C-alpha cells in the first residue's frame, strides 16, 4: 500500500471549494462544510426556541415568531443538514470505498451540490418576507394562508428534493456499475449498502413530496383549490402525500448513519462485523417496509379507522430489522478488543440513544397509546432521540473516523472525547424530560405551557444549551487540526475498506494503482492489516 507523497505535499487550493468542481471528494467536502453551517443555523434557532420555553409565558418570542423559528428549525435540520450531510458522506466515500475514480455522473454531482446553497438562501430569506410558520409538516390549510415566505419555503424544499434525487441516481448508478474488479454485492462495505437502500428510498419517496409541494405552491400562487375545503379540497390528502415521503425520510436520515457505525464497530473492535448479510438485508428490508407505514402519523386524523390497523402492523414490524442491526452491532463488539476512540464513543452512544428512540417508536405505533401521545412532546423526544441521538451521533462518528482520510491530518482525541461527553449528556438531558412532558399533557409546538411543565422544560433547556456548547470543542478541533494537526498516514485505524489503501488525503484520481478487491472489508483477525505506523492514531493519547 504505497503512499502518494506527492498528494500529501501538494498545496491545497481552497478556492476550488467555491467553484463548479466535479471531483467527488471536493463535492463531498463542499457538502459537509455547507451542511454543517446550516446545522449551526438550525441549532441557533433551537437555542432561541428552548430559551423561550425556559419558563412559562411568552417572554422572548411571540406566537408568530415562535412558529417561524420552530418551522425553520425543523426544515433546516432535516432538509439542509441531516439529509444532505449524509449525501456528503456518500459523495466522498462511495467511489473510494468501491475503488472507483469518481462518481458515475460528475457534473450531475456538482449540480446536486450547487442546488443546496441557493435553496438554503431561499429558505432563510423567507424570514424577510414573512417566514413559513406552519411547521416543517406544512399542514394545509394553515400553510396555504401563511405569508409569502411559505411559498419560498415550498420552492426551497422542492429544489432540495431535486438535489437529493440527483444524488440518489448518482449513488445507485455508481454502486451498480463502477465497483472495483472482484467486488461483488456481498463485498460492499455496509455504508455503501446503507446508501444504496437510502438512495432507492429517495427515488421512490421524494418525487411524491415534490408533487405535493407543487399542489401547495399552486394553491398559494395560482389560486387552485386542492386544499380549499369550501370547494371540496381535502386537507387529509396532503397528510397522505406528505407522510408518504416524510416517514421514509426518517429512514433516509438513519440508514446511512447505521452504515457509518457499521464501519466503525469492526475497526475498533478488531473483529469482523457480526452478521454482515443480516445487516445489509435489514437495510433493504427497512427501505421497503418504510414505504408502507406512513399513515401511522395520521391515527388521530380523519382517515378511515379500519385502515389504521395495517399501518400499525407494518410500523411495528420495522422494529424487527432494526433490532437485528442493534443486536448485530452488539455481537460485533462482544469479545472484541475495543479501542475507545472518539468515533467509537459516538458509535456506542448511537446505539444507547437510538435504542430509546426505537423503543418509543413502538409506543407511537400502538394506536391506543398514540391517540394520547401523538402531537405531544413525547413525539418531539422520540424524533430527537432518533435524529439527534441517532443520526447526528452517527454523523459525528463519521466525521471523526474519516477526518484523517479527508484532511490528511489527525484530530485532537482529548477534545473529541470532551465533545462526545457534552453531546451525550446534553442529548439525554434535553430529550428525556420531554417524554414526561408529553405523557403528562404538553402538546408540541407551543410557545407557552401550563406552569406544571416548568421543571421538565427547564431541564430540557439546560440540556439544549449543553448541546449548543458541545459544538464549540468540535469546531475548534476540526478547524485547528485541519490547519495544523499532525499528518495522518494513509491507514491510521488499520482498517480494511478500500478508501484506506490510498493516501490521506487521496489524490485527485483516488488510486494510483488500479484497485482490485482482494480482502473482504471485515476480515479482521484473519488477515494482517498493513500499515506504516501502528502507534497512536490520534495526535493526543487518551
Partner 1 sequence: MESNAALHKQEFKAGHQLGLDHKKLGMWLFLSSEVMFFGGLISAFLHFKINTPSPAESALLDVALIGVNTFILLTSSFTVVLGLAAIQRGNSRALAGYLGLTILLGAVFLTGQVYEFKMLYQEGMTLQSSVYGSSFYTLTGFHGLHVLIGVVWAVFVLVNALRGRYAENEHGGVEIFGLYWHFVDIVWIVLFTIIYLV
Partner 2 sequence: MKERNLFAIIVLSLVLIAVGYLVATSVDLSWLMPAQASERAVLVDRLFRFMMGIATVVFLIVEGALIYAVLRFRQKPGDESDARPVHGNNTLEIVWTLIPAVIVAVIGVYSYRVLTEVERVPDDPLVVRVISQQFSWRFEYPESGVSANVLHLPVDRPVQFQIESRDVIHSFWVPEFRVKRDATPGQIDELVLTPSQIGRYPIRCAELCGPGHAAMVSEVIVESEEDFQAWIEAGGVEVLDAGKGVPAGDKLPDDPLAAGRVVFTKYGCGACHTLDEAKTGGIVGPSLSDIGRVAAERLQGVNAVDYVRSSIVETDAFVVDGYPSGVMPNDFGERMTPEELDVLVEYLLSQ
Shortest approach of partner 1 to residue 514 CB, angstroms?
6
Query: Which partner from the list partner 1, partner 2, none does 376 bind, CB cut-off 5 to 8 Å by kind?
Result: partner 2
Which of 10-18, 213-221, 314-322, 420-428 is the region at the interface with partner 2 (rule: CB under 8 A)?
Answer: 314-322
Please give the full DSSP string across 427-458, using - where no structure is assigned. Answer: HHHHHHHHHHHHHHTPBSS-S---GGGHHHHH
**Are 221 and 151 spatial neighbours (Cβ–Cβ below 8 Å)?**
yes
Cα gap 298→371, rounded to integer Å = 10
* Cα distances (Å, whole numbers) of residue 333 to 382, 508, 536: 26, 35, 21
Shortest approach of partner 2 to residue 261 CB, angstroms?
13
Grid cell at residue 15? 478556492
* Cα distances (Å, whole numbers) of residue 220 to 154, 167, 224, 225, 447: 10, 29, 8, 9, 26
284 binds partner 1 (CB under 8 A): no
Please give the full DSSP string across 460-495, using - where no structure is assigned. Answer: HHHHHHHHHHHHHHHHHHHHHHHHHSPBP-S-TT--
Footprint on residues 504-523 left by partner 2 (CB under 8 A): 522-523
Shortest approach of partner 1 to residue 358 CB, angstroms?
27
| Alpha-carbon Rg for the chain in angstroms | 23
Shortest approach of partner 1 to residue 197 CB, angstroms?
14
348 binds partner 2 (CB under 8 A): yes
- x-marked contacts with partner 2 along 418-447 as a string, rule CB under 8 A: ------------------x--xxx-xxxxx
Shortest approach of partner 2 to residue 313 CB, angstroms?
6
Q: Which of 389, 396, 400, 454 lies closest to 426 in space, CA to CA?
A: 389
- x-marked contacts with partner 1 along 508-527 as a string, rule CB under 8 A: xx----x-------------
* Cβ atoms < 10 Å from Cβ of 468: 18
The angle subtended at Cα 142 by Cα 309 and Cα 443, nearest 5°, is: 60
Which of 43-51, 61-69, 72-80, 217-225 is the region at the interface with partner 1 (rule: CB under 8 A)?
Answer: 217-225
Q: 495 Cβ partners below 8 Å, 6+ apart?
A: 263, 267, 529
Q: Which is nearer to partner 2, 182 or 536 (CB)?
A: 536
Footprint on residues 12-51 left by partner 1 (CB under 8 A): none
Q: Which is nearer to partner 2, 210 or 366 (CB)?
A: 366
Shortest approach of partner 2 to residue 507 CB, angstroms?
29
Among 125, 178, 281, 540, binds partner 1 (CB under 8 A): 178
Cα gap 385→24, rounded to integer Å = 31
233 binds partner 1 (CB under 8 A): yes
Which of 4-12, 172-180, 252-260, 414-422 is the region at the interface with partner 1 (rule: CB under 8 A)?
Answer: 172-180
Please give the full DSSP string across 5-55, using - where no structure is assigned. Answer: HHHHHSPP-GGGGGS----HHHHHHHHHHHHHHHHHHHHHHHHHHHHHTTS
Q: Which is nearer to partner 1, 231 or 306 (CB)?
A: 231
Shortest approach of partner 1 to residue 162 CB, angstroms?
10
19 binds partner 2 (CB under 8 A): no
234 binds partner 1 (CB under 8 A): yes
Shortest approach of partner 1 to residue 374 CB, angstroms?
24
270, exposed or middle or buried, with CB in 10 Å at 0-12, 13-18, 19+?
middle
Among 241, 289, 344, 347, binds partner 1 (CB under 8 A): 241
193 binds partner 2 (CB under 8 A): no
465 binds partner 2 (CB under 8 A): no
Query: Which partner from the list partner 2, partner 1, none does 414 bind, CB cut-off 5 to 8 Å by kind?
Result: none
Cα gap 493→401, rounded to integer Å = 9
| Beta bridge pairs of residue 487 | 409
- x-marked contacts with partner 1 along 103-142 as a string, rule CB under 8 A: -xx--x----------------------------------
Shortest approach of partner 2 to residue 460 CB, angstroms?
16
Residue 510's region, left for phi above 0, alpha for psi from -120 to 50, else beta, is: left
290, exposed or middle or buried, with CB in 10 Å at 0-12, 13-18, 19+?
buried
Q: For partner 1, how many residues bind (rule: CB under 8 A)? A: 50
Q: Which is nearer to partner 1, 202 or 344 (CB)?
A: 202
Footprint on residues 262-301 left by partner 2 (CB under 8 A): 269-278, 300-301
* Cβ atoms < 10 Å from Cβ of 530: 11
Binding positions for partner 1, rule: CB under 8 A? 99-102, 104-105, 108, 165, 168-170, 172-174, 176-184, 203-208, 210-212, 214-215, 218, 222-226, 228, 231-234, 237, 241, 508-509, 514
Amino acid at each position: 500500500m504505497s503512499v502518494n507523497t506527492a498528494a500529501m505535499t501538494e498545496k491545497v487550493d481552497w478556492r476550488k471549494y467555491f467553484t463548479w468542481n466535479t471531483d467527488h471528494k471536493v463535492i463531498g467536502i463542499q457538502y459537509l462544510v455547507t451542511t454543517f453551517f446550516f446545522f449551526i443555523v438550525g441549532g441557533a434557532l433551537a437555542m432561541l426556541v428552548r430559551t423561550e420555553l425556559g419558563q412559562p409565558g411568552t417572554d422572548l418570542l411571540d406566537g408568530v415568531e415562535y412558529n417561524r423559528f420552530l418551522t425553520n428549525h425543523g426544515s433546516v435540520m432535516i432538509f439542509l443538514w441531516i439529509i444532505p450531510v449524509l449525501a456528503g458522506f456518500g459523495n466522498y466515500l462511495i467511489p473510494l470505498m468501491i475503488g472507483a475514480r469518481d462518481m458515475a455522473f460528475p457534473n450531475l454531482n456538482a449540480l446536486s451540490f450547487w442546488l443546496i446553497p441557493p435553496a438554503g438562501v431561499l429558505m432563510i430569506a423567507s424570514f424577510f418576507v414573512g417566514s413559513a410558520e406552519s411547521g416543517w409538516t406544512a399542514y394545509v390549510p394553515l400553510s396555504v394562508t401563511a405569508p409569502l415566505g411559505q411559498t419560498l419555503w415550498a420552492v426551497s424544499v422542492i429544489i432540495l428534493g431535486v438535489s437529493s434525487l440527483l444524488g440518489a441516481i448518482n449513488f445507485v448508478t455508481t454502486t451498480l456499475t463502477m465497483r472495483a474488479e472482484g467486488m461483488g454485492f456481498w463485498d460492499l462495505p455496509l455504508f455503501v449498502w446503507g446508501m444504496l437502500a437510502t438512495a432507492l428510498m429517495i427515488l421512490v419517496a421524494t418525487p411524491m413530496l415534490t408533487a405535493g409541494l407543487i399542489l401547495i405552491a399552486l394553491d398559494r400562487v395560482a389560486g387552485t383549490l386542492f386544499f380549499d375545503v369550501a370547494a371540496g379540497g381535502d386537507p387529509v390528502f396532503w397528510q397522505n402525500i406528505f407522510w408518504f415521503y416524510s416517514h421514509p425520510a426518517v429512514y433516509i436520515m438513519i440508514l446511512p448513519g447505521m452504515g457509518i457505525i457499521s464501519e466503525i464497530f469492526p475497526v475498533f473492535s478488531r473483529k469482523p462485523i457480526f452478521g454482515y448479510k443480516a445487516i445489509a438485508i435489514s437495510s433493504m428490508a427497512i427501505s421497503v417496509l418504510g414505504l408502507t407505514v406512513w399513515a401511522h402519523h395520521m391515527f388521530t386524523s380523519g382517515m378511515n379507522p379500519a385502515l389504521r390497523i395495517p399501518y400499525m402492523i407494518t410500523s411495528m414490524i420495522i422494529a424487527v430489522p432494526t433490532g437485528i442491526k442493534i443486536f448485530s452491532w452488539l455481537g460485533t463488539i462482544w469479545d472484541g478488543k475495543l479501542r475507545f476512540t472518539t468515533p467509537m464513543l459516538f458509535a456506542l452512544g448511537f446505539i444507547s440513544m437510538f435504542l430509546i428512540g426505537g423503543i418509543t417508536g413502538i409506543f407511537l405505533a400502538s394506536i391506543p397509546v398514540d391517540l394520547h401521545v401523538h402531537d405531544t412532546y413525547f413525539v418531539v423526544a422520540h424524533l430527537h432521540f432518533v435524529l439527534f441521538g441517532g443520526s447526528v451521533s452517527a454523523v459525528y462518528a463519521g466525521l471523526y473516523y474519516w477526518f484523517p482520510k479527508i484532511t490528511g491530518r489527525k484530530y485532537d482525541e482529548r477534545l473529541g472525547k470532551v465533545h462526545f461527553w457534552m453531546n451525550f449528556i446534553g442529548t439525554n438531558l434535553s430529550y428525556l424530560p420531554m417524554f414526561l412532558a408529553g405523557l403528562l399533557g404538553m402538546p408540541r409546538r407551543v410557545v407557552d405551557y401550563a406552569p406544571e411543565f416548568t421543571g421538565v422544560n427547564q431541564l430540557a433547556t439546560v440540556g439544549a444549551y449543553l448541546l449548543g456548547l458541545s459544538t464549540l470543542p468540535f469546531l475548534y478541533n476540526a478547524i485547528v487540526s485541519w490547519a495544523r494537526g499532525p499528518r495522518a498516514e494513509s491507514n491510521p485505524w488499520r482498517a480494511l475498506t478500500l478508501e484506506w489503501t490510498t493516501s490521506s488525503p487521496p489524490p485527485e484520481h483516488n488510486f494510483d494503482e488500479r484497485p482490485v478487491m482482494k480482502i473482504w472489508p471485515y476480515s479482521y483477525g484473519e488477515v494482517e492489516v498493513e500499515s506504516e505506523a501502528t502507534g497512536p492514531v490520534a495526535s493526543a493519547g487518551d
